[in-house]
A and B are shown apart, each in its own frame.
Chain A
């Protein structure tokens, strides 16, 4: 299990380094995720230790968002001024985003399938 945790942290570190060196506007952990995926593809299987740690972390993903979320308290004044506009904007936009994604996914999927058939 420790091997797995070390592997995740090393991927993250390499990701952070790559971001620092190339100056790309992407967070290090995301690059780390791509690196781990490439490693798994080359390796052709997921080592048990990596799977154990990863599944443990992903099972409790929601908890990891709490500390950042509590940071909202710093902006309570601004939120009390604009809360309605913010909520409406988030609601409308989330609705539109989900509808667009589902519809486009289906449309392109259909076009793709029919293009593949003779």
Chain B
């Protein structure tokens, strides 16, 4: 077992595990027809968590390797400006629609998740970690740190929300007869952040751009709105 102790302590090993497992999960997802139920991120998370638990490896040890991938979330968030700029002309003519849809969507995301949570009598720490679930993880983590929930729980809940958004979107678009890629992308980005954006890019570049826009706007707005909403609801 000495070789295991040696390799398992190396950041390189966990970096490779993350990449390889994700590639496997992506292949599995393709083979199953791209169903969001087997979303590559969720499958990869499940496999890696199981592996870490079986080998009694701590999350801190794993993260020493995985942080190199995690780090890229920052520049990737900045990179969203590029598809936004590509469709800037169309976005400019629609700013009022986008702003109103974003504010109502973001507020209904926060209020509805808190109301259902309160109905189930969830403890305050869990409620506060649920509140920013529609916001992309780097922003959600920042918000939860500020309001006093559990940041890593929030990060996980954000991902589950993302997969649910992708899963529900075809049904909702069919139900409401949505044909416009801009509407599709915007609602995906607003409710399912980066997952929804990745999913929207598969629909079309226009959908992806509007999803990226919605993700950025929702993140910004939620960062300002959330503390107000939870204090109005008496949670902090």
Interface size classification for chain B: 35 or more
Contact B41 A54 (CB under 8 A): no
A residues near B112, Cβ cutoff 8 Å: 92-93, 96-97
CB contact list, A22-53 vs B, under 8 A: 25-30, 32-37, 40-41, 46, 50-51, 53
B164 touches A103 (CB 8 A): no
Residues from chain B with Cβ under 8 Å of A57 in the complex: 72, 75-76, 79
- Note all chain B residues with C-beta closer than 8 A to A65: 41, 73, 137, 159, 162, 194-195
- Bound-complex Cα distance A55 to B81 (A): 11
Question: Min CB distance, A96 to chain B, in Å?
Answer: 5
The reply to whether B48 and A70 form a contact with Cβ atoms under 8 Å apart is yes
| Binary interface encoding of chain B residues 97-133 relative to chain A, with 1 for a CB under 8 A from any of its CBs, else 0 | 1001100110011001100110011110010001001
CB distance from A46 to the nearest CB of B (A): 6
Q: Are B139 and A30 in contact, with the CB atoms below 8 A?
A: yes
Q: A3-27: which residues lie under 8 A (CB-CB) from chain B? A: 5, 8-9, 11-12, 15, 25-27
Q: Chain B residues in contact with chain A, CB under 8 A?
A: 18-19, 21-22, 39-42, 44-45, 48-49, 52-53, 59, 62-63, 66-67, 69-70, 72-86, 88, 94, 96-97, 100-101, 104-105, 108-109, 112-113, 116-117, 120-123, 126, 130, 133-134, 137-139, 141-143, 146, 150, 152-153, 155-157, 159-162, 164-165, 168-169, 172-173, 176, 178, 183, 186-187, 190-192, 194-195, 197-198, 201, 208, 212, 216, 219-220, 223-224, 227
Q: What residues of chain A have their CB less than 8 Å away from a CB belonging to chain B?
A: 5, 8-9, 11-12, 15, 25-30, 32-37, 40-41, 46, 50-51, 53-55, 57-59, 61-75, 78-79, 82, 84-106, 108-109, 112
